[in-house]
């Protein structure tokens, strides 16, 4: 029992005296009693020894005074915690609740949290709450409702607490995981980048010893980070370009693997097999990444770099297939890189001996065939980089002559038999040496890239056949689409755009470059195709493609025809009059803002300027047409035309009669027909009966070069034939066009509106101003206002009629389409109605 002090406070019992453990003695009787009565000592087995040890360890090092202070601190903490809880709640009225008496003798009343009762603010408004004391005065019914609510909310909180804790747990862990990933992303990136650099440097330092590191680099390329993947691909590209040998690897067969070899041979075989296997895996990875937009540029760059660097190595076929497939890509970067790689392959044939060139040309030809010639022009523009050795066709391969056996001279019959045996032994030895030498030469040819002349000629022939097969397929396709387009245009209204031929222009350029290598058996068909494409109309079958191709493409067909003819002048006899007719008519169809001026200048240079002889009627017709052409086109085109015109006048002295201004035309006007400006054939135009009045207008051209050229041409009438040959111009029409092109026009206009002329006008006096006014008034009186008014009215009525016709035509087309759609709708309704009626009849029968 505890003691009572003066204040009637119950104190805890005193502790027993401390006895050291060494003085405890356990007798045998105590041990036997414990064994006989396990029920009394069974609680000892259930004691929590860890908690006891923990408590003992926690207070073991403290002395008695310190222990008391420790206990006091704990009591103070508990008291403070309780006081805080009491402050946080509201004290219940002492009449309504019983107090609790503590061991210290203090009375404590129960408290309620402020957030629990919802009716307190309403009661406070009605005046039931005493604000001064802070104590709520509740009735018995309200207290019962309050207790019920508190119990229900307590139960709900008990049920919801584990759910909330479970829900918050994984969210918190996910947030921590994302934060850790973000913080460690840069560190991982730098570690992987450093590791890539270390592995790459070790491979470059000693490839044979560290060849196994390629597997690690390939594994890094499978990383989730796209930047690491790109770095890995580029690192492997640099490594492969450095360690790939200069020969094609052939893996040993099973029989060769069973043969005993040295350590060096085993090491070399392991290096080659590992390199080949890793290289194949790398190429497969690149071909897969090409299809993914995020890695397309890097993968294409790696493929093209490998094709340029190691075209002799294994798996060249897969490299070429991947590059050629993307040579007509819609992406400009991808297409440019692939085209550059193929051009480098054609130029650097010393790396692969020409075999890769033949494979690439065949793949491109097959690509054009599969896509029906609907590809980007760069696809076959790469053929212009091909280089053919023309001397190979003249080379006659002579086989190595076998050494003839020496004639045996008459020998003495009485020679010894030993001498005969020695001669036979020498002969056998010589035969063995010759056989070994032939085997070595054959092995050297098989390993080296330098092919003999016969093999090179064969490969060049196959390459040329594939190139011309592609060109002829493009020409045939253009003729078919153009003819179908021309037939459709005949039934449709004007204004429709012609179907494009993307590969026609590079095809014509290639035919012009390699025309001297075309077989003569195909010349007739080629010239016929070019006539059709240039717009030539056959009077027998009425075939015409005049509205199907652009002016530039038709001019290019004429240029190619002349180049083919001139390169095969000795063996080809073709009349090119039809192409002159086309050029004569195309000069009026040319538009500077639509067509290519360089092609026009090149056509003038090829057909007219380089021609040695021209018919007088044809030359006069072209001179008149070029002078007319120079009036209403730009300065660059006008310069090209005037240079050609001057060259024709210098070569054809009789055509200088066009420069004379006699009554009724030129001096030969009575001998020839009258000039017809709308004639389609230059020989039937009668241009010799006309006069070059256009030169007087061109002499006042705004461009000083054009005006001076026109003045020099007009002054040729006073020169003799011998004098004119001295002043033959060396500049071609193409050169004149490039000199005066729009981008290079840097000159000052010679007009009255320049600052110098304005300053001069300002310096003049009042008299000059009055004179100018009188001149203007006299000019106004000279003009017939009635005539000008009538012409303007006629002009605007024509324009108004044209606009009205266009509106009416559009309305008519709209009405026709509406009627057609309505008829189709009625037909569809009839078909649907018949189907419904059939279904109803079937249902009635059933």
Structure tokens at 292: 């993914």
Across the range 465-494, mean pLDDT stands at: 73
> Is the distance from CB of 368 to CB of 383 less than 8 angstroms?
no
pLDDT at 133: 41
Structure tokens at 2: 């505890």
Per-residue confidence band for 30, with pLDDT thresholds at 50, 70 and 90: confident
> Is the distance from CB of 233 to CB of 217 less than 8 angstroms?
no
Query: 119 Cβ partners below 8 Å, 6+ apart?
Result: 142, 146
DSSP state of 496: P
Burial of 152 (0-12, 13-18, 19+ CB in 10 A): exposed
Whole-Å CA distances, 349 to 241, 360, 385, 459, 809? 18, 12, 12, 12, 61
> Is the distance from CB of 556 to CB of 535 less than 8 angstroms?
no
Per-residue confidence band for 244, with pLDDT thresholds at 50, 70 and 90: very high
Q: What digits encode the pLDDT tens for the residues 717-762? A: 665 544 444 445 567 888 888 888 764 555 444 444 444 444 444 4
With 70 as the cut, is the pLDDT of residue 410 above it?
no
Greater pLDDT, 622 or 485:
622
CA-to-CA distance for 439 and 451, rounded, in angstroms?
17
Q: Within 13 Å, how many C-alpha atoms sit on residue 4's CB side? A: 3
Across the range 798-818, mean pLDDT stands at: 83
The answer to whether the Cα torsion of 136, 139, 143, 145 is positive or negative is negative
pLDDT at 751: 42
CA 65 to chain centre: 86
CA-to-CA distance for 740 and 464, rounded, in angstroms?
38
CA-to-CA distance for 602 and 604, rounded, in angstroms?
5
Across the range 311-332, mean pLDDT stands at: 91
CA-to-CA distance for 706 and 630, rounded, in angstroms?
9
CA-to-CA distance for 511 and 611, rounded, in angstroms?
20
pLDDT at 760: 47
DSSP state of 608: I
Name the H helices within 127-262: 140-205, 213-220, 226-243, 254-258
Query: 382 Cβ partners below 8 Å, 6+ apart?
Result: 327, 339, 342, 343, 346, 364
CB atoms inside a 10 Å sphere around CB 583: 23
| Per-position DSSP letters for 649-678, written without gaps between them | HHH-GGGGGGG--BTTBSTTTTTSPPP-TT
DSSP state of 716: G
Q: Which of 300-304, 386-390, 576-580 has the highest mean pLDDT?
A: 300-304
Q: Within 13 Å, how many C-alpha atoms sit on residue 652's CB side? A: 28
CA-to-CA distance for 551 and 557, rounded, in angstroms?
10
What phi and psi, each to the nearest 5 degrees, are found at residue 731? -75, 135
What phi and psi, each to the nearest 5 degrees, are found at residue 90? -105, 135
The residue written with tokens 């207290």 in the block is 143
Q: Is 419 helix (H, G, I), strand (E, B) or coil?
A: helix
Q: Specify whether the backbone of 312 is left (phi greater than 0), alpha (psi in -120 to 50) or beta.
A: alpha
Burial of 670 (0-12, 13-18, 19+ CB in 10 A): exposed
Lowest mean pLDDT among 81-85, 227-231, 483-487, 544-548: 544-548
CA-to-CA distance for 311 and 232, rounded, in angstroms?
22
With 60 as the cut, is the pLDDT of residue 1 above it?
no
CA-to-CA distance for 292 and 256, rounded, in angstroms?
42
CB atoms inside a 10 Å sphere around CB 22: 6
Q: What is the mean pLDDT of the chain?
A: 75
| Per-position DSSP letters for 397-418, written without gaps between them | --PPPPPPPPPPPP--TT--HH
With 60 as the cut, is the pLDDT of residue 627 above it?
yes
pTM metric for this prediction:
0.61
> Is the distance from CB of 287 to CB of 318 less than 8 angstroms?
yes
Whole-Å CA distances, 62 to 14, 71, 556? 20, 12, 110
Q: Is 486 helix (H, G, I), strand (E, B) or coil?
A: helix
pLDDT at 51: 64
Q: Specify whether the backbone of 644 is left (phi greater than 0), alpha (psi in -120 to 50) or beta.
A: alpha
With 80 as the cut, is the pLDDT of residue 815 above it?
yes
Q: What digits encode the pLDDT tens for the residues 141-162? A: 777 777 777 777 776 665 555 4
pLDDT at 110: 65
With 70 as the cut, is the pLDDT of residue 60 above it?
no
Whole-Å CA distances, 649 to 96, 576, 682, 724? 134, 21, 16, 9
Integer distance in angstroms from the first to the last C-alpha of the chain? 107
| The Cα angle at residue 77 between residues 71 and 82, in degrees rounded to 5 | 130
Q: How many helices and strands in the chain, by DSSP H and E? A: 31, 6
Percentage of the chain modeled with pLDDT above 90: 21
pLDDT at 120: 41
What phi and psi, each to the nearest 5 degrees, are found at residue 401? -75, 135
**Using H for helix, E for strand and C for coil, what is the string for 598-645?**
HHHHHHHHHHHHCCCCCCHHHHHHHHHHHHHHHHCCCHHHHHHHHHHH
Q: What digits encode the pLDDT tens for the residues 269-286? A: 999 999 999 999 999 999
DSSP state of 688: G
What phi and psi, each to the nearest 5 degrees, are found at residue 115? -80, -10
CA-to-CA distance for 480 and 392, rounded, in angstroms?
37
pLDDT at 63: 60
**Helical (H) or strand (E) element with 590:** none
Per-residue confidence band for 96, with pLDDT thresholds at 50, 70 and 90: low
Whole-Å CA distances, 836 to 825, 827, 829, 844, 846? 16, 14, 10, 12, 15
pLDDT at 247: 87
With 50 as the cut, is the pLDDT of residue 11 above it?
yes
CA 492 to chain centre: 38
Greater pLDDT, 651 or 132:
651
CA-to-CA distance for 590 and 583, rounded, in angstroms?
10
Q: Which of 30-44, 382-396, 692-706, 791-805 has the highest mean pLDDT?
A: 692-706
CB atoms inside a 10 Å sphere around CB 289: 20
Q: Which of 73-87, 447-461, 710-724 has the highest mean pLDDT?
A: 447-461
CA-to-CA distance for 132 and 124, rounded, in angstroms?
12
Across the range 119-148, mean pLDDT stands at: 53
Across the range 678-698, mean pLDDT stands at: 85
Q: What digits encode the pLDDT tens for the residues 337-346? A: 999 999 999 9
pLDDT at 742: 61
Across the range 671-679, mean pLDDT stands at: 66
> Is the distance from CB of 109 to CB of 92 less than 8 angstroms?
yes
Q: Is 135 helix (H, G, I), strand (E, B) or coil?
A: strand
The residue written with tokens 């040309």 in the block is 361
With 90 as the cut, is the pLDDT of residue 369 above it?
yes
| Per-position DSSP letters for 27-76, written without gaps between them | -HHHHHHHHH-HHHHGGGGG--HHHHHHHHHHHTT--HHHHHHHHHHHHH
With 60 as the cut, is the pLDDT of residue 547 above it?
no
pLDDT at 424: 76
Greater pLDDT, 561 or 519:
561
Q: Is 466 helix (H, G, I), strand (E, B) or coil?
A: helix
Q: Give the dihedral of Cα atoms 439, 440, 446, 447; nearest 10 deg.
A: 160
Lowest mean pLDDT among 109-113, 142-146, 213-217, 595-599: 109-113
With 90 as the cut, is the pLDDT of residue 382 above it?
yes
pLDDT at 539: 39
Nearest to 740 by CA among 712, 711, 702, 714: 702
CA-to-CA distance for 474 and 464, rounded, in angstroms?
15
Structure tokens at 128: 């039931």
CA-to-CA distance for 295 and 707, rounded, in angstroms?
59
pLDDT at 764: 45
């Amino acid at each position: 029992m505890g003691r009572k002090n003066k204040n009637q406070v119950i104190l805890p019992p005193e502790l027993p005296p401390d006895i050291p453990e060494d003085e405890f003695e356990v007798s045998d009787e105590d041990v036997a009693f414990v064994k006989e009565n396990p029920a009394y000592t069974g609680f000892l087995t259930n004691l929590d020894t860890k908690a006891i040890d923990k408590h003992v360890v926690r207070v073991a090092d403290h002395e008695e005074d310190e222990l008391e202070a420790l206990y006091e601190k704990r009591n103070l903490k508990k008291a403070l915690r309780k006081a805080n809880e009491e402050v946080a709640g509201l004290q219940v009225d002492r009449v309504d609740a019983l107090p609790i008496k503590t061991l210290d003798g203090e009375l404590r009343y129960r408290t309620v949290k402020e957030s629990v009762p919802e009716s307190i603010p309403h009661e406070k408004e009605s005046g039931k709450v005493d604000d001064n004391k802070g104590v709520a005065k509740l009735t018995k019914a309200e207290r019962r409702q309050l207790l019920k609510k508190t119990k229900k909310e307590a139960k709900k909180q008990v049920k919801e607490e584990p759910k909330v804790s479970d829900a918050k747990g994984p969210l918190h862990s996910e947030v921590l995981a994302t934060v850790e990933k973000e913080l460690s992303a840069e560190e991982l990136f730098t570690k992987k980048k450093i590791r890539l650099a270390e592995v790459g440097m070790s491979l470059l330092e000693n490839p044979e010893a560290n060849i196994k590191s390629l597997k690690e680099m390939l594994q890094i390329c499978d990383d989730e980070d796209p930047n690491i993947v790109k770095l890995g691909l580029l690192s492997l590209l640099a490594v492969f370009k450095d360690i790939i040998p200069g020969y094609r690897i052939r893996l040993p067969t099973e029989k060769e693997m069973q043969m005993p070899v040295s350590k060096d041979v085993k090491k070399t075989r392991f290096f080659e097999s590992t390199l080949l296997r890793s290289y194949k895996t790398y190429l497969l990875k690149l071909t897969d990444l090409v299809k993914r937009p995020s890695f397309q540029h890097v993968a294409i760059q790696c493929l093209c770099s490998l094709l340029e660097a190691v075209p002799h190595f294994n798996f060249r076929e897969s490299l070429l297939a991947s590059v050629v497939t993307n040579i007509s890509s819609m992406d400009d970067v991808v297409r440019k890189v692939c085209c550059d790689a193929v051009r480098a392959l054609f130029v650097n044939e010393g790396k692969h001996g020409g075999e890769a060139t033949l494979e690439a040309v065949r793949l491109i030809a097959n690509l054009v065939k599969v896509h029906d010639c609907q590809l980007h022009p760069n696809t076959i523009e790469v053929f212009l980089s091909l280089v053919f050795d023309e001397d190979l066709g003249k080379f006659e391969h002579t086989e190595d002559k076998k050494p003839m056996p020496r004639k045996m001279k008459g020998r003495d019959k009485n020679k010894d038999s030993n001498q005969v045996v020695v001669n036979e032994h020498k002969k056998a030895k010589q035969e063995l040496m010759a056989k070994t030498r032939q085997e070595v030469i054959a092995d050297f040819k098989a390993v080296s890239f330098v092919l003999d002349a016969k093999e090179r000629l064969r490969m060049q022939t196959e390459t040329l056949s594939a190139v011309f097969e592609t060109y002829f397929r493009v020409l045939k396709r253009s003729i078919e689409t153009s003819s179908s387009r021309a037939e459709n245009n005949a039934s449709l209204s004007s204004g429709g755009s012609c179907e494009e031929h993307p590969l026609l222009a590079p095809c014509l350029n290639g035919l012009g470059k390699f025309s001297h290598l075309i077989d003569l058996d195909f010349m007739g068909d080629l010239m016929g195709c070019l006539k059709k494409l240039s717009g030539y109309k056959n009077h027998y079958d009425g075939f015409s493609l005049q509205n199907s191709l652009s002016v530039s493409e038709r001019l290019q067909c004429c240029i190619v025809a002349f180049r083919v003819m001139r390169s095969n002048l000795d063996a080809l006899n073709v009349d090119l009059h039809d192409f002159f007719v086309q050029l004569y008519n195309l000069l009026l169809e040319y538009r500077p803002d639509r067509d290519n001026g360089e092609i026009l200048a090149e056509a003038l240079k090829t057909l007219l300027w380089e021609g040695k002889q021209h018919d007088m009627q044809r030359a006069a017709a072209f001179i008149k047409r070029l002078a007319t052409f120079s009036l209403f086109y730009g300065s660059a085109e006008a310069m090209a035309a005037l240079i050609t015109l001057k060259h024709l006048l210098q070569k054809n002295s009789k055509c200088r009669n066009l420069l004379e201004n006699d009554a009724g035309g030129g001096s030969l006007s009575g001998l020839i027909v009258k000039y017809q400006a709308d004639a389609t054939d230059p020989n039937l135009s009668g241009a010799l009966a006309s006069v070059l009045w256009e030169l007087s207008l061109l002499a006042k051209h705004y461009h000083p070069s054009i005006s001076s050229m026109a003045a020099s041409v007009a002054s040729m009438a006073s020169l003799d034939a011998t004098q004119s040959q001295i002043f033959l111009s060396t500049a071609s029409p193409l050169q004149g066009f490039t000199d005066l092109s729009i981008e290079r026009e840097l000159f000052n206009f010679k007009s009255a509106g320049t600052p110098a002329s304005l300053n001069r006008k300002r310096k003049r006096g009042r008299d000059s101003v009055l004179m100018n006014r009188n001149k203007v008034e006299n000019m106004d009186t000279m003009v017939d206002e009635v005539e000008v008014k009538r012409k303007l009215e006629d002009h605007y009525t024509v324009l108004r009629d044209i606009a009205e016709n266009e509106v009416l035509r559009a309305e008519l087309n709209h009405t026709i389409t509406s009627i057609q759609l309505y008829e189709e709708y009625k037909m569809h309704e009839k078909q649907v109605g018949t189907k419904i009626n059939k279904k109803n009849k079937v249902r009635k029968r059933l």
